[in-house]
Structure 1
Amino acid sequence: MSTDSDQSLEMSSSKDPITAAYYPELAKIINNDPTAIDRLEIECGMCQDKMSNPEDKTCSAIIFPCGHMYCPPCVKEYREYNRANGITHKCPLCRFDLKGRVCGCPDKETLFDPTQHQDEGLLDKLKDELSKDKSACAFCQLSMLVNGLRSIALYIHDPAPLIREGHMLRVRAVKRDDWDVRIESDCTEEIKLLPISPELMELFRIAGDSLAEAWDGPRAPGDDTSPFDFQLALCKSYPEDHDLLRHRRGQLEFFSIAKWHKCDIARSGRLSHARRDALELAEAFTSVEAFKKYRINVARQDWAMGLVFDHIDLEAEEMHLAFQRFRVEHPRLYGLAGLPLVGGVVLRGYRFSSDIARLVRRGREDAEGRFEE
Structure 2
Amino acid sequence: MSSPKDPITVAYYPELAKIINNDPTAIERLEIECGVCQDKMSNPEDKTCSAIILPCGHMFCPPCVREFRQYNISNDVPSRCPVCRFDLKSKVCGCPDDKDTLFDPTQNQDEDLLARLQEQISRRKGTCVWCQMTTLARGLRCITLYLYDPVPIIKAGLMLRVTVEKRDEKEIRVETDKSEVIKQLPISPELMELFTIASESLDTAWYGPRAPGEESCPFNFELALCKRFPEDHEYWPHRRGQLESSRYEWSEYENLDRLAHALGDAVKLSEAFTSDVAYKNYKEKVRDDERQDYMYFVCWDVVRRIDLAQDIEEHHSDTDDQDTQDNENGRLYAVAAIQVIGGLLDSVHQFRAFLARHIC
TM-score, scaled relative to structure 1: 0.70
Letter in 2 for 1:138: V
Q: Percentage identity across aligned positions?
A: 54
Q: How far apart, CA to CA, are the structure 2 residues paired with 1:128 and 1:136? A: 18
Q: How far apart, CA to CA, are the structure 2 residues paired with 1:219 and 1:307? A: 42
- Show the counterpart of 2:266: 278
Distance 1:205 1:31, change over 3 A: farther
What are the Cα deviations for residues 287-335 of structure 1, in whole angstroms up to 9, with x where unaligned? Answer: 122112211211111111111111125779xxxxxxxxxxxxxxxxxxx
Q: Out of 32, 38, 48, which is 1:48 matched to?
A: 38
Distance 1:91 1:264, change over 3 A: closer
Distance 1:109 1:31, change over 3 A: farther
Letter in 2 for 1:234: L
Distance 1:199 1:21, change over 3 A: farther
- Show the counterpart of 1:321: none
What are the Cα deviations for residues 227-282 of structure 1, in whole angstroms up to 9, with x where unaligned? Answer: 33322222111111112111111111111120x2x12412x433332222111101
**Pair 1:263 & 2:257 matched:** no
**Pair 1:105 & 2:95 matched:** yes
**Pair 1:87 & 2:77 matched:** yes
Q: How far apart, CA to CA, are the structure 2 residues paired with 1:354 and 1:308? A: 8
How far apart are residue 348 of structure 1 and its match?
A: 7.3
- Show the counterpart of 1:335: none
Q: Is the 8 A contact 2:161 2:177 kept in 1?
A: yes
Rg (Cα) greater in structure = 2
Q: How far apart, CA to CA, are the structure 2 residues paired with 1:38 and 1:180? A: 39
**Pair 1:140 & 2:131 matched:** yes
Letter in 1 for 2:267: L
**Pair 1:185 & 2:173 matched:** no
Letter in 2 for 1:269: D
**Pair 1:62 & 2:52 matched:** yes
Q: How far apart, CA to CA, are the structure 1 residues paired with 2:24 and 2:172? A: 35
How far apart are residue 191 of structure 1 and its match?
A: 2.3
- Show the counterpart of 1:154: 145
- Show the counterpart of 1:332: none
Secondary structure in 2 aligned to 1:171? strand
- Show the counterpart of 1:302: 290
Q: How far apart, CA to CA, are the structure 2 residues paired with 1:45 and 1:74? A: 9
Q: How far apart, CA to CA, are the structure 1 residues paired with 2:199 and 2:41? A: 37
Q: Out of 202, 218, 227, which is 2:193 matched to?
A: 202
- Show the counterpart of 2:86: 96
Q: Is the 8 A contact 1:44 1:71 kept in 2?
A: yes
What are the Cα deviations for residues 327-371 of structure 1, in whole angstroms up to 9, with x where unaligned? Answer: xxxxxxxxxxxxxxxxxxx837985779738xxxxxxxxxxxxxx
Letter in 2 for 1:95: R
Of residues 139-148 and 20-29 in structure 1, the stretch that sits farther from structure 2 once superposed is 20-29
- Show the counterpart of 2:281: 293
5+ unaligned residues in a row in structure 2: which ranges? 305-333, 346-360
TM-score, scaled relative to structure 2: 0.72
How far apart are residue 174 of structure 1 and its match?
A: 2.7
- Show the counterpart of 1:231: 222
Q: Is the 8 A contact 1:61 1:72 kept in 2?
A: yes
How far apart are residue 108 of structure 1 and its match?
A: 6.4
**Pair 1:169 & 2:165 matched:** no
- Show the counterpart of 1:366: none
What are the Cα deviations for residues 50-101 of structure 1, in whole angstroms up to 9, with x where unaligned? Answer: 4579xxx996643311122223432233234334545332211122122343
**Pair 1:129 & 2:120 matched:** yes
Q: C-alpha root-mean-square deviation of aligned residues, in Å?
A: 3.8
- Show the counterpart of 2:68: 78
Secondary structure in 2 aligned to 1:246? helix
Q: Is the 8 A contact 2:53 2:100 kept in 1?
A: yes
